[in-house]
Structure 1
Amino acid sequence: MKNLVSIVEIPAADLSRSVTFYQAILGILIEQTEMDGVQMGVFPSDGEGVSIVLAKGKDYKPTRDGAVVYLNAGDDLQTVLDKIGPNGGKVLVPKTQISPEMGFFAMFTDTEGNKLGLHSMH
């Protein structure tokens, strides 16, 4: 079965600040563009998986409520987690084991106030 999720939009109040935060914690380059009055920061993708976009527009409001998106933090999420505070985010739940088979998770808020999670196997 294919992945049921195709696109995730993370709301941003300040797109530049949000792009800077995610580039710093994930070590990626985010391409900025605009579509129909919505400013966007597009995460790199191989075109096969879920597309992730930072979005600033009148219908986008950062929130700690609702669905939580977990980002793949690579082999060990602690590497990403250690960058969150120094780059303006806040760690809500430290690295915590789910189970030996399912790996680890952590939760944080980004610079915009969104609550997100991290996942890794180690």
Structure 2
Amino acid sequence: MSDSKQLAPHGQICWLEVPVTDIERAKDFYTSVFDWECSPQGTPSPLTGARDVIHMFTKGDLHGAFVTISEDCMVKVYDEKSPGKAPVLPTFCVESIEETLKVVESKGGRLHVPKTDIGGGMGFFARFIDSEGNLQGIWAQN
């Protein structure tokens, strides 16, 4: 009997873990900015360095978890003292960069790169630092 569930295309992101120190703050931030659906209850974490639970989230085909970790285990992907370092950067599609950045800032995030034209009709991007110190990107066609 074959599984009727369709697999994501090879190479597509299938899971995203977001390290956080304050789960409620992170859930509030991401549900407000991207309308992610977050599980109200945590699940025991099998990860070394993580606290006891992870909190799952979904948005369309994206699935992942907020991994609660202690401050001393947090690896900040953006360090204001070393702005030239380039981490792996997830970029999320949004309808409006301007409106999304308003929500980001209202929820404790900070603008990192303002709305920027990519050129060649390829749309626009911006970057922000989330409520937990993680650098994230957003993209919109207009």
String of CA shifts for 1:12-34, please: whole Å, max 9, x gaps. 01111111111122234321422
User: Could you say what secondary structure the match of 1:63 adopts?
Assistant: coil
The code of the aligned residue for 1:2 comes to P
Q: Does 1:19 align with 2:37?
A: no
Q: Is the 8 A contact 1:102 1:121 kept in 2?
A: yes
Deviation at 1:52, TM superposition (A): 3.1
Residues 100, 82 of structure 1: alpha-carbon distance in 2 compared, 3 angstrom cutoff:
farther
The alignment partner of 1:23 has SS state of helix
TM (norm. structure 1) is: 0.81
Matched, 1:9 2:17: yes
Whichever of the two has the greater Rg, that structure is 2
| Contact 1:78/1:95 (8 A) holds in 2 | yes
Matched, 1:86 2:106: yes
Distance in 2, matches of 1:31 and 1:56, equals 14
State the structure with bigger RCO (CA 8 A, min sep 6), 1 or 2.
Answer: 1
The CA deviation string for residues 52-96 of structure 1, in whole angstroms up to 9 with x for no partner, is 3221136962512421111222x2222211111111010111111
Stretches of 4+ moved more than 3 A in 1? 57-60
% identical aligned pairs: 23
Q: 1:41 to 1:62 in 2, by over 3 A?
A: farther
CA pair 11-63 structure 1, distance change in 2 beyond 3 A: same
Amino acid at match of 2:113: V
* Backbone CA RMSD of aligned residues: 2.3
1:43 partnered with 2:57:
yes
Residue 70 of structure 1 corresponds to which residue in structure 2? 91
How many residues of Structure 1 are paired with residues of Structure 2 in the alignment? 119
Query: What TM-score does the superposition give when structure 2 sets the normalisation length?
Result: 0.71
Preserved contact between residue 107 and residue 117 of structure 1 (Cα < 8 Å): yes
SS of match in other structure, 2:139:
strand
Contact persistence 2:35–2:59 (CA under 8 A) = no
